[in-house]
Amino acid sequence: MAIDYGRKRTGLAVTDELQLIATGLATVETHRLAAYLDEYLRKESVELFVVGEAKHLDNTPSESARFIEPFVATLRKRYPSIPVERIDERFTSKIAFQAMIDGGLSRKQRQNKGLIDTVSAVLILQNYMQKKEYETKRQ
């Protein structure tokens, strides 16, 4: 499960059992995220959390990192049996917005920030899966 954590909304994405395709799951108001994850994990198995790592171009943490880091610590404590991986999330929101344009979504649909958050989570998960596949092939 990928998590694009935000102060107001959090985008979530999951993959199939074969880990071939990342799919948007939901955008959840961040203050409701813990309850959503608890409910989801009662029904579904999650092997790993992939959380976006917010960085500037010079590789230093961005302003949003100060909100993401405490969330990651809480996630690890709340679900100790599920590992947490981090992956660079630079440009995911911009790429998500461009993907929505390329996909033919109307201007009104593109203004749905929740959709951008979900697409960003999909991109985070796809990037993670591609990185994992690349590393596996190099071994």
Give the distance from CA 33 to its chain's centroid: 13
Read off the pTM. Answer: 0.81
Q: What letter represents residue 87's amino acid?
A: I
Spatial distance between the Cα atoms of 47 and 69, rounded to a whole number of angstroms: 21
Separation of first and last alpha carbons in the chain: 25
Measuring CA to CA, which residue among 99, 135, 96 is closest to residue 117? 96
pLDDT in tens, the chain (139 residues): 999 998 999 999 999 888 888 999 999 999 999 999 999 999 999 999 999 887 766 777 667 778 999 999 999 999 999 999 998 775 566 665 566 566 666 666 656 566 678 888 998 998 899 888 777 777 6
The total number of structural domains in the chain stands at 1
Judge contact between 51 and 75, C-beta under 8 A: yes
In whole angstroms, what is the distance from residue 135 CA to residue 57 CA?
A: 24
Query: Which CATH number goes with the domain that contains 33?
Result: 3.30.420.140
Q: Which domain holds residue 73?
A: 2-138
